[in-house]
Structure 1
Amino acid sequence: MRKALIVIDVQESFRRREAWQAVNNPDITDRVNTLVAAARADVDLVVWVLHSEPGTGGVFDPDSGHVHLMPELDRRDDEPLLVKTSINAFTTTNLAQLLTQHGIRELRVCGIRSEQCVETTTRVGFDLGYDMTYVVDATATFPIPHPDAPRDRTIAEILADPRTTQADAVVAHTALVLADRGFATVRTVAELVGTMTRS
């Protein structure tokens, strides 16, 4: 059975936000490139996904010039590049059609944010019948402020607030829920690459 690696929202938009200085996995591009190389060695499909928010004027607006892959990533021209406007990679793209065309039923997912677009894609993929693997240390995210906290605080103020959920805790909780509820197998890059190179 052919597999696909789905790389979600590892894009320059995130680095243009102040919150990037608090990202839990600043070397995510290295880990993604490791997965990509292993996927290619296994002749698996690699699909790249970008998030776009047209007309918003923010860093995810295509007019900002930041809606592109981080330049360190090793994408080949023949690998699909999809642009989504929803939280998951299925709803506003032809991802499911693309996977069907290639006869793919097993997906490995990674990217930014761990608990948002990557987790939601994992859950939707599971609901659509795919065998999902969530590559936990090839995801990245940011601290989550308490809902009652003011919205205009600096990242330093957010980090100093004891009510803030720190990024590593977000990642750990996301992985726990996905695995415990049966949505996905959770693997590290090293675990997954070891399995891939033996198959």
Structure 2
Amino acid sequence: MTTLENRPNTALLVIDVQVGVVAEAYERDKVVANIAGLVERAREDGVPVVWVRHSAEHLVPGSEDWQIVPELEPRDAEPVVGKQYGDAFEDTTLETVLAGLGAGKLIVTGAETDACVRSTLHGAFTRGYDAQLVSDAHTTNDGTSWGAPSPELVIAHTNLYWTYQSAPGRTAGTAAAADVRFRAQDS
């Protein structure tokens, strides 16, 4: 039900699942495995997978920390969008990539829940996309030493909040990885 015209397709968005981002992330292996399963199913169903990779002082392009984790490997034909801000739409080619794919619905996964995932979800929604968060395919690091809630509470709160997000002409919500349906007839 996206508000974007001529954008009937769905894309799987994998945000910042990079070596240096998720090395110590909450339930890292489980989340990466869930994302890997989603990537495989999307590919089988002919749904585009779009990868997002953050660059920063601690994520220098070309460095080991900047690389996407070895369990996940973008295919040559799959777009990899570089970014420097939390919202993957901000000052990137993401909108152009998604427009070229005819994508108006995003299935969102990745890291970190309380930063880039949440910023990109909001960025997508305010731009007119339908945005579904995969409840068990995003993670974050422990920020309790800076006053943040524990990772499990950050994830739970984000899932709760996104389940009830709404706006005119757009849909939001969450689904567990096992319940995500890529094919239109399965939706």
Residue 104 of structure 2 is aligned to residue 105 of structure 1? yes
- For the 8 Å contact 2:53–2:82, the answer to whether it is kept is yes
Q: Deviations over 1:70-128 (max 9, x none)?
A: 01113211100111000011112111111111211111010011121111111110000
What is the aligned partner in structure 2 of residue 196 from structure 1? 182
Residue 8 of structure 2 is aligned to residue 9 of structure 1? no
Residue 27 of structure 2 is aligned to residue 41 of structure 1? no
- For the 8 Å contact 1:24–1:167, the answer to whether it is kept is no
| Count of equivalent residues | 174
Q: Secondary structure at the match of 2:120?
A: helix
What is the aligned partner in structure 2 of residue 167 from structure 1? 151
- For the 8 Å contact 1:24–1:142, the answer to whether it is kept is no
What is the aligned partner in structure 2 of residue 93 from structure 1? 92
Q: Which amino acid aligns with 1:51?
A: H
2:33 to 12, 30, 35: 30
- For the 8 Å contact 1:146–1:165, the answer to whether it is kept is no
Q: Normalized against structure 1, the TM-score is what?
A: 0.80
Deviation at 1:134, TM superposition (A): 0.3
Superposition CA RMSD, Å: 1.9
Q: Deviations over 1:114-164 (max 9, x none)?
A: 12111111111000000110001010112222546xxxxxxxxxxxxxxx6
Distance 2:146 2:112 in 1: 18
What is the aligned partner in structure 2 of residue 71 from structure 1? 70
1:52 to 11, 32, 55: 55
Distance 2:146 2:113 in 1: 19
Percent of residue pairs bearing the same amino acid type: 32
Q: Normalized against structure 2, the TM-score is what?
A: 0.85
Cα pair distance change 1:182/1:34, threshold 3 Å:
same
Q: Which amino acid aligns with 2:82?
A: V
The gaps in structure 2 that reach 5 residues or longer are 1-7
What is the aligned partner in structure 2 of residue 62 from structure 1? 61
Deviation at 1:49, TM superposition (A): 0.7
Larger Rg: 1
Distance 2:62 2:177 in 1: 34
Residue 168 of structure 2 is aligned to residue 180 of structure 1? no
Distance 2:133 2:177 in 1: 10
- For the 8 Å contact 1:24–1:168, the answer to whether it is kept is no
